[in-house]
């Protein structure tokens, strides 16, 4: 059980990311948007405004965690045995399919925890660390939101793959039926 747990861990999934995944368009936009909001509110905002916005981040991302987890549960329950066998033939296997869900949930939970800590400590931090902390959670907030696009793309790719599998199964069944009818005739 310990080996299986290490295979499906968040940090294992992070370790398997490719450079292209880390520097994806969604991640780059997350950094730009988060840093932009952080810098803007550091220049013209107050600590109270940053804390208020962080509270909004918290409510949005907490809802996203619930949605992503429910989506994961739904997708996992709907995978057919044939599709699971097909996924297992891939280098990453079934875990390759579920890894994006794990990464998104891990990022979103990190955002919830970080934002909660920020809200709790912002008033006791000096100005620069508080502003940097806010900028960091802003980046995490936008990443938590934009990773939904990555997850959606992954699910859509699997839907296409599953439809192609269904076509192959249908084709093979028709071919087998034709061969049986020739053998009988």
**What was the pLDDT predicted at 5?**
65
Distance CA(88)–CA(98), nearest Å, equals 12
**What was the pLDDT predicted at 8?**
67
**Where does the pLDDT of residue 2 fall: very low under 50, low under 70, confident under 90, or very high at 90 and above?**
low
Distance CA(124)–CA(72), nearest Å, equals 38
**What was the pLDDT predicted at 13?**
65
Residues in the chain: 185
User: Smallest Cα–Cα separation from 56: which of 121, 144, 125, 128?
Assistant: 144
- 35-44, 105-114, 171-180: lowest mean pLDDT where? 171-180
pLDDT digits (tens, 9 = 90+) for 50-94: 999 999 999 999 999 999 888 888 877 877 777 777 777 877 777
pLDDT digits (tens, 9 = 90+) for 10-37: 666 666 767 777 778 898 999 999 999 9
Mean pLDDT of the chain: 85
Q: Are 105 and 72 in contact (CB under 8 A)?
A: yes
**What was the pLDDT predicted at 61?**
96
Place of tokens 């107050």: 46
The more confident residue out of 41 and 159 is 41
Q: How far is CA 170 from CA 1, 3, 161, 164, 165, in A?
A: 38, 38, 14, 10, 9
**Where does the pLDDT of residue 173 fall: very low under 50, low under 70, confident under 90, or very high at 90 and above?**
confident
pLDDT digits (tens, 9 = 90+) for 82-136: 777 777 787 777 777 778 888 889 999 999 999 999 999 999 999 999 999 999 9
């Amino acid at each position: 059980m310990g080996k299986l747990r290490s295979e499906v861990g968040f940090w294992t999934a992070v370790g398997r990311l490719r450079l292209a995944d880390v520097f994806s368009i969604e991640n780059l936009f997350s950094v730009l948007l988060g840093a932009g909001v952080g810098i803007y509110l550091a220049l013209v905002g107050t600590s109270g405004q940053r804390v208020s916005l962080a509270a909004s981040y918290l409510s949005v991302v907490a809802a996203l965690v619930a949605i992503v987890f429910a989506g994961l549960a739904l997708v996992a329950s709907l995978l057919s045995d044939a599709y699971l066998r097909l996924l297992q033939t891939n280098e990453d296997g079934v875990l390759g399919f579920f890894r994006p869900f794990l990464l998104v949930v891990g990022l979103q939970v990190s955002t919830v925890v970080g934002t909660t800590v920020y809200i709790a400590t912002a008033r006791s931090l000096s100005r620069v660390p508080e502003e940097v902390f806010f900028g960091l959670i802003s980046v995490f907030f936008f990443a938590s939101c934009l990773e939904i696009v990555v997850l959606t793309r992954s699910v859509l790719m699997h839907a296409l793959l599953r439809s192609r599998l269904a076509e192959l199964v249908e084709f093979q069944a028709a071919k087998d039926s034709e061969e049986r009818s020739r053998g009988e005739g």
